[in-house]
Chain A
Amino acid sequence: MMAVDLLDASIIMAVLAIVMVIGLRGYGLSRSMTGFFLANKELGAVTLAFSLMATYFSAASFLGGGGATYSFNLGFGAWLTAWHVIGVVLMWVLVAERLFKYASKTNIMSIPDFIEHRYQSKAAKAVAAAVMISLFTLYLTSVYKGGAIIIATVFDTSFEVGLAALAIPVLLYVALGGLRAAALNNLILGSLMLFAAFLTFGLVMSAVGGPIKGIEELRSMTINGISGEMWLRFDGAGPPSAMKAGAVPQLIMGITFSISVAQIALPSLLMQFYAARDARVISRGRILGPVLVAAYAMAVFSLGAFCHLVLDPRLSQGEVARLMKDVDWVIPKTVDVLAPSGLRGLILAAPMAASMSTLAVILLVLSAALTRDVVQLARPNTSERSLMVLARASPIAFALISLLLTLVQTGIIVEVVAAAFGTIFVCFLGPVTIGLYWKGATRAGAIASMISGLVLGMSWHVLLYKATNVHAVIPALLVALPTFFLVSLFTKKPPREVLELLG
């Protein structure tokens, strides 16, 4: 831990204050349900592209993705980047336009809304809402962890205090602002995140003398009793159990695939396409969106391995071993060593504030799922005013539940994100992404696919993932997707007027 640096602390407080002010400004714009959840459908291409990037990338990606190659070989960073680029391109090319057109012809506000309308089924909507609520609550723990680590590093305090300090402004911000505020903030935070990513990349690369020299030095090192050469081999460095079993490549591919390709079926991202002003926004965003994600991924995801050159000479062997077990602390510690006062605050303020924004958007998604997809379904006569009260109050409950979960879960960020995102991807790939194209998809197929994906994905992650080194997304996908097709083939199709909306 370092001593508190007043300049760094002031910068972080200033960024938080800006985020709060925008949240308060968003209040006036979000008095209706459409305003609160869909930013009054006024987002332009740049705002939308940055909003998607900042929703997806937060302290979890900066710390978890950046630090992962401190333990894994460089293949983790390379394939995390590759799958991210594939995922974001597929999202903009295959999903964005179709979903926007469908949403603009109907009155849907969320992914469960889409599922209800597409399959003419309130039961399918309720299952979708339940899947989202359970898995996003798990995902939030990784975002909380990332933000809390940064606060703990900068303010020289404990992880628990950092967690509490992050939760309070998030709750205020969500309860007052809505997506309009989140999207405006995301434009600023997305720019800050890119700035922080490039700056950190530049600092690390200049410290190690560039990537080629860094690789040469890495090769000649011995890290925790392992040759540095193992960081340059795809079947090289990784968790000890996976190395012993010779399962590092399959583990890398499983985790990186699960985290990244989830973009094409992730409700927190897809619902933002509904908020686009018009079809031209989607058209322009298709160019900017992938560039932003790729630039960030290339700058951040391979840094961890090079951090050995910066950190290891300053740490004892025991500290290096501990850091390799909890790699989420690697990037803040490296920034702490390399960046001067002020710049360090600026770098760490970006992912921390982006964590706030990501938490805000996810809490909004959960709030929408509860308010519109569960309460409105159970009590159709509830007034708009009562629903708005619930929409503003329910994020607090979700935030507190995930906060408590963060205190008890011990996994590193990338594994938690992979479990949550991988299972969400499995559950929604058929009903949402394929359902946008395949008219043969049915209500029964969608429900069977979501339930089988959730049950198998979570139970595999808890019971078999560590023992087999096979990520839950693989078996879950192999069951949920055939289930979706097979059940759909033999059950009743939705009415023709709904299928015509698919184009």
Chain B
Amino acid sequence: MTLCSLVQGMSQSLIPRHISSPDKLILLFIDVHLCTEKFKSIQKCRILSGVAHMMGIDPLIIAGYAISIVVLLMGVLYGAYKARRSRR
């Protein structure tokens, strides 16, 4: 399986219907995890609503935990990048 088809498969199964192409994954990422005021778009997201349905919790609660993990990962990756650059 190529990387492209993997991303395509993931996008088809995970992202909302109104975003159809894999190259818009980054937009989805921002839409889902960073724009907290866009609660309605979060509720429409299949990942969050899927997890929320599975656990029986409001998607807006799951969104809080999801944002924590994603922002932490972004922060750590940025920190590692800057640390590596400062060593050079």
By a beta-carbon cutoff of 8 Å, the part of chain A in contact with chain B is 73-75, 77-79, 81-82, 84-86, 88-89, 92-93, 212, 215-216, 219, 232-236, 249, 279-280, 283-284, 286-287, 290-291, 294, 297-298
Contacts and interface: CB of A to CB of B under 8 A. Distances in A.
Contacts of A219: 56
A290 B72 contact: yes
Interface in B43-83: 55-58, 60-65, 67-68, 71-72, 74-76, 78-80, 82-83
Given A78-B65, A82-B64, A86-B67, A283 B82 contact: yes
B71 A78 contact: no
Contacts of A85: 67-68, 71-72, 75
Contacts of B62: 78
B2 interface: no
Nearest to A86: B71
B59 to A, nearest CB: 8
Nearest to B65: A78
Given A82-B71, A85-B71, A287 B76 contact: yes
A89 B57 contact: no
A216 B56 contact: yes
Given A78-B65, A85-B72, A89-B75, A234 B58 contact: yes
B67 to A, nearest CB: 4
Contact of A283 (B60, B68, B72, B86): B86
Contacts of A291: 72, 76
A360 B72 CA distance: 29
Given A93-B75, A232-B56, A234-B58, 20 more contacts: A74-B57, A75-B60, A77-B64, A78-B65, A81-B65, A82-B63, A82-B65, A82-B68, A85-B68, A85-B71, A85-B75, A88-B75, A89-B74, A93-B78, A215-B55, A233-B61, A279-B86, A283-B83, A287-B83, A291-B72
Nearest to B62: A78
Contacts of B86: 279-280, 283
Interface in B3-39: 36
Nearest to A291: B76
Given A73-B61, A232-B56, A232-B61, A290 B75 contact: yes
A233 B60 CA distance: 8
Most buried by B among A78, A79, A279: A78
Contacts of A86: 67, 71
Contacts of B80: 287
A294 B63 contact: no
28 contacts: A74-B57, A74-B61, A75-B64, A78-B62, A78-B63, A78-B65, A78-B68, A79-B64, A82-B63, A82-B67, A85-B68, A85-B72, A86-B67, A89-B71, A89-B74, A92-B75, A92-B79, A215-B56, A232-B56, A233-B61, A279-B86, A280-B86, A283-B79, A283-B83, A287-B79, A290-B79, A291-B76, A294-B72
Given A286-B79, A286-B83, A232 B67 contact: no
Contacts of A84: 68
Most buried by B among A74, A82, A212, A297: A82
Nearest to B34: A86
Contacts of A294: 68, 72
Contacts of B57: 74, 215, 232
A297 B58 contact: no
A280 B86 CA distance: 7
Contacts of B79: 92-93, 283, 286-287, 290
B56 A78 contact: no
Most buried by B among A84, A85, A236, A294: A85
A287 B65 CA distance: 20
A241 B60 CA distance: 22
A284 to B, nearest CB: 6
Contacts of B60: 75, 234, 249
B72 to A, nearest CB: 5
A179 B14 CA distance: 50
A278 to B, nearest CB: 10
A234 B58 CA distance: 6
Nearest to A284: B83
A216 B60 CA distance: 18
Contacts of A283: 79, 82-83, 86
Report the 9 A-B pairs with minimum CB-CB distance, sorted nearest first: A78-B64, A89-B75, A286-B79, A287-B79, A234-B60, A82-B67, A79-B64, A82-B64, A234-B58
